[in-house]
Structure 1
Amino acid sequence: MRLILLLAALLLPSPALAWWEYGHYTVARIAEDSVRPATRAQIRRLIARSAALETPTCPIRTIEDASYWPDCVRKLRDRFSYSFPWHYQNVDVCKPFDQASACRDGNCVSAQIERNQKLLADKALPVRERLMALAFLAHFVGDLHMPLHAGDRGDKGGNDFAASYGVIAGRANLHSIWDGYLAERGISTPAAGARGILAALMPGERETMRGGTVTDWARESWEASRQYAYGTVMADPCGPKPDARPVIGEETVRALIPVIRTQIARGGLRLGRLLDDALS
């Protein structure tokens, strides 16, 4: 029975989570490892008061927990339903980059990164508000660096684009593959986690990655969505959808591992910069 349930979980991945837990944890760990000591101390002081959030089913004990909290509280439904549109922005990869149309009224991931950084920096706010801002900021920076949260082809970030990850088919789609299977494979190859990803960067790459604006990062991920998420399963990323369900096989996975690791590194280092700016 346990084996059947495990297979069912593999064949029916949930589209609700972004980078699943592992991707968010790794982005957050890179961020905390890269911030100034004073910033790290402030993060830990805030997290020590996480009971103020009154979300006992979604506790925050570490920055990794904080980075996953916005997905965890989805289970509380009406209490946090206002935040559901903040995890993504569906910018058409087959048209000129147009973030404004996807961010009306601030309901998109880029706008919420900027908003929550300001809230985190405001020491006049109650601890509860700043804790929520820390969690949302950590999560949304991770979300923005998952290409299918930054650009799509009008298919709900690839959720409506059926695809197979090797032999895993079922209800798998382009979004769930990038969200989970590819992220886990990329982060764990080689198996050294956040520190392994940072150690692989060339001298000077860290500072280069930390540069730019949130809009610059959104455009970069939008381009990655077209070039890699769609470009590896279609000859023309903006052409007709293939009749046959595309299969992302081992050769393609190996080619995409450096892309995944770069996106995770960018997310972590940029989150670290935003945290330094807000807290130091």
Structure 2
Amino acid sequence: MKSEKRFLAGILLNLSLLLSAANAQAWGDNGHQIVGEIAWGFLQPEVKSRVTELLQIAGEPGLAEASTWADRIRHDEQYKWTAPLHYINLPRDWHGYVEARDCPPAGCIVKALEKYEEILRSPDTTESERAEALLFVAHFVGDLHQPMHTGLREDRGGNDIEVQFFGFPTNLHALWDVYLPAGFAEDWRKYAQRQQWEITEAQRSAWQRSHSEEWAAESHALAHSYAYTAEKFLGEDYYQRNRAFVEQRLRQGGVRLAGVINRALGAREH
């Protein structure tokens, strides 16, 4: 009971954020900022300088803040076409990415991430193109690590599955976007900065050896093994079962984002 009350207190401190969760489409702002801040801590010094230059062109104060840009602009008329790029719908029985089968003509997150990584890497793109690509990459790496972004088409990645979490009405997608991270990350910047001391060199090396198709497979496995549930009234048990997975996905997203940016901007891994 005491642990539940402590958790509810944390939820209430984030109420303004949580009330927007019903329409969430990705990690909430805090989740994306955690991924961006972790990534910043693992960038090579010379790459940080290049990232700072590109963020200045984009008008963004930092990588953490820039990681929310793709959500901020998705409802603008000129960027509505980007909506399908934030996710990939995968069936429960799925054994590996095949673009022609899994990525519709409108696009999907795996193909989009590959595209914007290439733009960020290419010496033939303009600085403004490279700056925009950085913003997309920073966001899409985070999105791909949210398990429900590989959810089922028929329930729109859990958006159509209504649940209650500690009495709050929400949906399964929003639960993973906002409610679960809110339980352990009241201050996203402090939380992210602590991760630099908790992520081991062995983890960093292993996580950065993988690629986007593997990240999708990891999220798919988590979605169907842990996120999807027949329960409608969720609370402490569900939170405790899944907290470690949410934290690991945020850490992996940050480490892998750093790896993508380091490689794309030409610095050698160390």
Distance (Å, rounded) in 2 between the aligned partners of 1:203 and 1:139: 24
Aligned-residue offset at 1:84: 0.8
- Summarize the Cα distance change of 1:188–1:82 in structure 2 as closer, same or farther, 3 Å threshold: same
- Summarize the Cα distance change of 1:124–1:216 in structure 2 as closer, same or farther, 3 Å threshold: same
- Summarize the Cα distance change of 1:68–1:190 in structure 2 as closer, same or farther, 3 Å threshold: closer
Give the structure 2 partner of residue 246 of structure 1: 232
Aligned Cα RMSD in Å? 2.4
Q: Gapped runs of 5+ residues in structure 1? A: 1-5, 52-59, 235-244
Aligned-residue offset at 1:208: 1.2
Distance (Å, rounded) in 2 between the aligned partners of 1:72 and 1:215: 26
- Relative to the length of structure 2, the TM-score reads 0.85
- Summarize the Cα distance change of 1:191–1:36 in structure 2 as closer, same or farther, 3 Å threshold: closer
Given residue 34 of structure 2, which amino acid in structure 1 is its aligned partner? T
Distance (Å, rounded) in 1 between the aligned partners of 2:210 and 2:83: 26
Q: Secondary structure at the match of 1:218?
A: helix
- Relative to the length of structure 1, the TM-score reads 0.82
Give the structure 1 partner of residue 165 of structure 2: 165
Aligned-residue offset at 1:11: 5.2
Give the structure 2 partner of residue 50 of structure 1: 58
> Any residues of structure 2 matched to 1:103-252 within 5 Å, and which?
103-105=103-105, 107-152=107-152, 154-169=154-169, 172-188=170-186, 192-230=190-228, 233-234=229-230, 246-252=232-238
Distance (Å, rounded) in 2 between the aligned partners of 1:104 and 1:75: 20
Q: Gapped runs of 5+ residues in structure 2? A: 1-13
Given residue 247 of structure 2, which amino acid in structure 1 is its aligned partner? R
Distance (Å, rounded) in 2 between the aligned partners of 1:102 and 1:186: 34
Residue 270 (1) aligns with residue 269 (2):
no
Note if contact 1:92-1:154 (Cα within 8 Å) is conserved in structure 2: no
- Summarize the Cα distance change of 1:130–1:165 in structure 2 as closer, same or farther, 3 Å threshold: same
Q: Percent identity?
A: 29
Aligned-residue offset at 1:143: 0.3
Distance (Å, rounded) in 2 between the aligned partners of 1:220 and 1:102: 16
Give the structure 1 partner of residue 9 of structure 2: none
Aligned residues: 252
Give the structure 1 partner of residue 38 of structure 2: 30
CA offset digits 1:223-278 (Å, max 9, x no partner)? 01111111xx33xxxxxxxxxx6122112212211111100011011111000110
Identify which range, 29-38 or 248-257, moves more after superposition. 248-257
